[in-house]
C-alpha cells in the first residue's frame, strides 16, 4: 500500500493518498481494533468497504507516525475526530484509494472520487445557476469532478449535515488544469467564510482538499 501522493499545506497540515493493494486481513493486522470497531467492521457490506475503512485508519496512523492505537470517533453530524489527540482530520476513499488530511490547528476536509461521465447528468443538483454557466467546456467532466470534490471537502470541513452543496457552498470560476486551486465560500446565515480549495487529478480519480484559514 504505497503513498502515491503527499503534500503539505502550510506548517501543520498534510494530505496523503494511498493505493490499496493489501487484503483486508493484512490491513487489520496493522491496527489494534477495539471490540466496537470490529463489530462495526463486520457489519459493513462487501469486501471493498472493509478495505476502504481499514485503509483510511492505517494511512492515518502512518501520517501521525505512530504504532499506537488511534481512537477515531464520529460526532453527531458524522464528522470523524480523534478522541485522544488534538489533530483535525478528514477521511475519504473511492474504489482502490484512501485519502486522509490532518492538521494540528485547522479544520480540514478531503474527498476523492473516481471519474465517470455520468456526473454531467447530476451537475444541476450540486451546482447553482451561476456556477453552471461557468463550466469549463473544454474539460467538462474533469471540471465537474473538481467542483464536486471541492464542495464535498468543504462540506466535511464545515461538519454540519444541513449544509447544502447548491445553496450554501459557492465556488469561484476557474480554468481546469491537472492540478490547481480556486476560491470558494460557505454562506449560511450568519456564517460567511472563504477558503482556497485545492484539487488534483490522479489518473482516473479526482482529489479535492481544503483547510480553514485559522
pLDDT in tens, 155-207: 999 998 889 999 999 999 999 999 999 999 999 989 899 999 999 999 999 99
Which pLDDT band, with edges at 50, 70 and 90, does 47 fall under?
Answer: confident
Q: Cell digits for 54? A: 481499514
Among residues 129, 124, 169, 133, the alpha carbon closest in space to that of 151 is found at 169
Q: Is the dihedral of CA 115, 119, 120, 125 positive or negative?
A: negative
Residue 110 β-bridge partners: 209
Which pLDDT band, with edges at 50, 70 and 90, does 44 fall under?
Answer: confident
What helix, strand, coil percent values describe the chain, rounded to 5? Answer: 30, 35, 35
Q: Cell digits for 113? A: 472520487
Domain spanning 3-106 has what CATH number?
Answer: 3.90.470.20
Name the residue with higher pLDDT: 47 or 170: 170
- The pLDDT, as a whole number, for residue 175 is 96
Q: How do beta strands 13-19 and 72-74 pair?
A: unpaired
Pinpoint the alpha helices (H) of 93-168: 119-126, 129-133, 140-158
Q: What is the DSSP code string of 145-157?
A: HHHHHHHHHHHHH
Cβ atoms within 10 Å, residue 40: 12
pLDDT tens-digit map of 53-109: 999 999 999 999 998 899 999 999 999 999 988 899 999 999 999 999 999 999 999
Name the residue with higher pLDDT: 214 or 149: 149
SS3 91: strand
The reply to whether the predicted model has a pTM over 0.75 is yes
What CATH fold (topology level) applies to the domain 111-211?
A: Ribosomal Protein L22; Chain A (3.90.470)
Domain(s) of CATH 3.90.470.20: residues in the chain: 3-106, 111-211
SS3 62: helix
What is the distance between the terminal CA atoms of the chain, rounded to a whole angstrom? 33
Instruction: Tell me the Ramachandran region of residue 95: left when phi exceeds 0, alpha when psi lies from -120 to 50, beta otherwise.
Output: left
Q: Cell digits for 47? A: 469486501
> What is the C-alpha separation between 82 and 85, in angstroms, rounded?
5
DSSP state at residue 137: G
Q: Cell digits for 152? A: 464535498
Contact 211, 108 (CB under 8 A): yes
4-28 mean pLDDT: 94
* pLDDT of 1 above 70: no
- The pLDDT, as a whole number, for residue 2 is 78
Amino acid at each position: 500500500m504505497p503513498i502515491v501522493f503527499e503534500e503539505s499545506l502550510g506548517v501543520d497540515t498534510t494530505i496523503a493518498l494511498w493505493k490499496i493493494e493489501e487484503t483486508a486481513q493484512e490491513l487489520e493486522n496493522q491496527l489494534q481494533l477495539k471490540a466496537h470497531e470490529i463489530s462495526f467492521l463486520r457489519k459493513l457490506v462487501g469486501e471493498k468497504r472493509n478495505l476502504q475503512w481499514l485503509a483510511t485508519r492505517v494511512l492515518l496512523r502512518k501520517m501521525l507516525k505512530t504504532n499506537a492505537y488511534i481512537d477515531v470517533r464520529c460526532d453527531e453530524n458524522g464528522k470523524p475526530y480523534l478522541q485522544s489527540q488534538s489533530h483535525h482530520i478528514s477521511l475519504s476513499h473511492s474504489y482502490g484509494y484512501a485519502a486522509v488530511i490532518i492538521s494540528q490547528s485547522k479544520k480540514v476536509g478531503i474527498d476523492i472520487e473516481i471519474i465517470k461521465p455520468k456526473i454531467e447528468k447530476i451537475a444541476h443538483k450540486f451546482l447553482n445557476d451561476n456556477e453552471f454557466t461557468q463550466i469549463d467546456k473544454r474539460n467538462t467532466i474533469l471540471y465537474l469532478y473538481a467542483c464536486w470534490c471541492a464542495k464535498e471537502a468543504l462540506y466535511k470541513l464545515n461538519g454540519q449535515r444541513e449544509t447544502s452543496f447548491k445553496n450554501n457552498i459557492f465556488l469561484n470560476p476557474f480554468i481546469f488544469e491537472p492540478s490547481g486551486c480556486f476560491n470558494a465560500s460557505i454562506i449560511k446565515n450568519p456564517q460567511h467564510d472563504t477558503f482556497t480549495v485545492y484539487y488534483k487529478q490522479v489518473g482516473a480519480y479526482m482529489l479535492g482538499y481544503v483547510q480553514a484559514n485559522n
